[in-house]
Amino acid sequence: MNAERIKDDELSDEPVPVMQQLLDNPFLLLFLGIAMPTVLYIVWGVMEIVSLPIAK
Amino acid sequence: MSVNRMFRTCPSSGLVFHEPAEKLMRWNAVAAAVSLLIGGLLAIGVVLTRWQAVHLLPADRFYQFLTAHGLNMLVFWIIFFEIAVLYFASSTLLKARLATPGMAWAGFWLMVLGALVNNYSVFRGDSSVMFTSYAPMGAHPTFYLGLILFAVGALIACFVFFGTLMVAKAERTYHGSVPLVTFGAITAAIIAVFTIASGAIILIPTFLWSVGLVEHIDSLMYKTVWWAFGHSSQQINVAAHVAVWYAVAAIVFGAKPLSEKVSRGAFLLYILFLQLASAHHLLTDPGLTSHWKIFNTSYAMYLAVLASMVHGLTVPGAIEVAQRAKGYTHGLFEWLRKAPWGNPVFSSMFMSLIGFGFLGGISGVMMGTEQLNLIIHNTIYVPGHFHATVVVGTTLAFMGLTYFLIPVLFRREVAFPTLAKWQPYVFGLAMMGVSLFLMGAGTLGVPRRHWDIGFAGNAFGYEFPGAAWLMMALAGIAGLVAIVGGGMYLLITVWSVFLGKKITTPGFQHVRARDGIAPSPQPVAAAIAAHHPSAGAGGLVAPGTFALAMVFLVSFVLYYFINWKYLSTVWPLK
């Protein structure tokens, strides 16, 4: 029983891996999931369109 | 405290339902079914018109039907159902009370109002602009207003979902990470927020343009931003139906993911890259550079495709491991032969997985390649592709989940069990036929949207090969069978929910959360919500799935090669 408790304590003290911290944070994921396509698809795409020369 | 904290534990599954969340799930599911009914009825007109020998509707009526069919199916049916899935994956799987039920109801009624306003606009007859509604082709202002109202409602629902995650964490209703199915739902909700924000960026100015407050909408700008909404809305489906696959594997088999780490990593790839695939709709448009096109499709999209292949491998792999543990170890495929093919929850899910991977996945990669896209761009190949992803993939998966939810959520027995056993096959196989035949016709150049491939009365006609006409006829026949399959689903679900035999639980009573909800550890609830060590470590634990994956890979490579070969014949370089 005692040994089990020690084991539990050890487990709770174990640092959570960085990747798991990322995956356990829905708001960080929300930020990434919005920032990535906003920059790579919308902003980049819109910049290309607005930089097109106007036909004369 | 006046907050409603009433919970119920399902005696058959052990799942815990928070009363307000349960009611919202039911209403969202019913609204989804109504949208499916409207979209399905309209499909009859679409199918019988594109079947050239019948050619039922005149041009104006055809485009009106096509517009309403697209919106009711691709937006209203799917998103109402997805909101139900989000509430299930947060409140039920985390055993948490739903955050701000009042806001959730406000979101629901906004969605209903938006869907009604949008349908009203299309049925008026002056908004037959189709799902894409490309500017400068203008619709009545209520068309855009309806979509905006619907999107705002869906956005509220997404934030209620995120709020429920916070409630669950604060009230410590779960330990460690959220269950994998909930993580899939988080992925869907994140993509939904981006999708809705993109819709707002483009639809609000377009609405202002339609009422005369904005002078001009640039067509390329519209297309670019609109597809961040239009295609990403279908990526919500992908994340949601993959979450449903994992749920069904746990529900039917008690299957544990081969590796939760790998599955969660694959969902992360969706969050980062899936939405960028929207660029494949613009691969033939001038004005955008090849750098933008190729990065977003060939580079980023392939990482999302990798994630889909991971899910396509791990879900059947998990089922195989669970089946082998039950003793189905003979040969490569005994686990699959002895699977419960008469259970519509399983058969729907498995056909969804196969159809999504083999038909939707492979064709999607082909379409996302800039050079190959030239062969099929804006042909009827594109509807062929998305009927494989959205209809065979998402709709069939949602149909399978419905058969599980009828007794668990609605507390009714599934009516017409024999019909329910056959329904996934009728709908799924017919819809796979529709997809294949449309893709075949598209490869022969049949246009995506032209009402009449005979070009009757046109000064510049074009004669399609006889095979194209045959493909369109076969797609028409398969489409009618699929509509029958959809009708079977609606008959079973509506009858079950409103007229089906009630499931009563002796001694049932609601329990306050603060008194402890104490769910009995039933197998289904435990299987969906628990965490598992990697089942796939230490050798080839799922050889049958590995063999299936090899078949998939060979099909993929062959089809990809064939299309490059075909490109070389239609676009000779001298």
The mean pLDDT of B406-415, rounded to a whole number, is: 93
Select from B194, B197, B221 the Cβ nearest to the Cβ of A49: B221
In the predicted model, is pLDDT for residue A36 greater than 50? yes
Write down the domain spans for chain B.
16-454+461-568
The verdict on a CB contact (< 8 Å) between A52 and B287 is yes
Q: Under a CB-based contact definition with an 8 Å cutoff, are residues B357 and B554 in contact?
A: no
> Taking the CA of residue A4 as centre, how many other CA atoms within 13 Å lie in the half-sphere pointing to its CB?
1
In the predicted model, is pLDDT for residue B359 greater than 70? yes
In the predicted model, is pLDDT for residue B558 greater than 50? yes
- Condensed to tens digits (0 to 9), the pLDDT of residues B212-232 reads 999 999 999 999 999 999 999
Residue B543, Cβ neighbours under 10 Å: how many? 16
Distance, in angstroms, between A11 CA and closest chain B CA?
Answer: 12
Q: Under a CB-based contact definition with an 8 Å cutoff, are residues B185 and B178 in contact?
A: no
Residue B56, Cβ neighbours under 10 Å: how many? 16
- Condensed to tens digits (0 to 9), the pLDDT of residues B231-244 reads 999 999 999 999 99
The verdict on a CB contact (< 8 Å) between A34 and B194 is yes
Cα separations (Å) of B14 from B9, B93, B233, B404, B517? 6, 10, 32, 13, 11
Q: Under a CB-based contact definition with an 8 Å cutoff, are residues B356 and B389 in contact?
A: yes
Distance, in angstroms, between A10 CA and closest chain B CA?
Answer: 15
| Contacts A31 to B, Cβ<8 Å | none
The mean pLDDT of B531-539, rounded to a whole number, is: 59
Instruction: Check if CATH label 1.20.210.10 holds for domain B16-454+461-568.
Output: yes
Distance, CA of B122 to CA of B70 (rounded, Å) = 11
Q: How would you class B364 by CB atoms within 10 Å of its CB: exposed for 0-12, middle for 13-18, buried for 19 or more? A: buried
The mean pLDDT of B427-454, rounded to a whole number, is: 95
**pLDDT score recorded for residue B13:** 86
| Contacts B165 to A, Cβ<8 Å | 26
Distance, in angstroms, between A46 CA and closest chain B CA?
Answer: 7
Select from A20, A33, A38 the Cβ nearest to the Cβ of B190: A33
Distance, CA of B247 to CA of B241 (rounded, Å) = 9
Q: How would you class B326 by CB atoms within 10 Å of its CB: exposed for 0-12, middle for 13-18, buried for 19 or more? A: exposed
Residue B224, Cβ neighbours under 10 Å: how many? 27
Q: Is residue A10 part of a domain?
A: no
**pLDDT score recorded for residue B518:** 40
**pLDDT score recorded for residue B4:** 45
Q: Which two tokens stand for residue B307?
A: 């994630």
The verdict on a CB contact (< 8 Å) between A46 and B190 is no
Highest mean pLDDT among A21-25, A27-31, B172-176: A27-31
| Contacts with B396 (C-beta within 8 Å, 6 or more apart), sequence order | B348, B349, B351, B352, B355, B424, B427, B428, B431
Q: Which domain holds residue A30?
A: 16-56
Q: Is residue A36 part of a domain?
A: yes
**pLDDT score recorded for residue A12:** 59
Q: What percent of chain B has a predicted confidence (pLDDT) above 70?
A: 94
B414: left (phi over 0), alpha (psi -120 to 50) or beta: beta
DSSP 8-state secondary structure symbol assigned to residue B377: T
**pLDDT score recorded for residue B86:** 97
Q: Which two tokens stand for residue A29?
A: 């994921």
Q: Is residue A30 part of a domain?
A: yes
DSSP 8-state secondary structure symbol assigned to residue B71: H
Select from A36, A41, A49 the Cβ nearest to the Cβ of B287: A49
The mean pLDDT of B126-147, rounded to a whole number, is: 95
The verdict on a CB contact (< 8 Å) between B288 and A33 is no
The verdict on a CB contact (< 8 Å) between A42 and B198 is yes
Distance, in angstroms, between A2 CA and closest chain B CA?
Answer: 22
Residue type, B320: E
User: Average pLDDT over chain B, rounded to whole?
Assistant: 92
∠ CA(B398), CA(B404), CA(B410), 5° rounding? 105
What ipTM describes this predicted complex?
0.90
Q: Is residue A8 part of a domain?
A: no
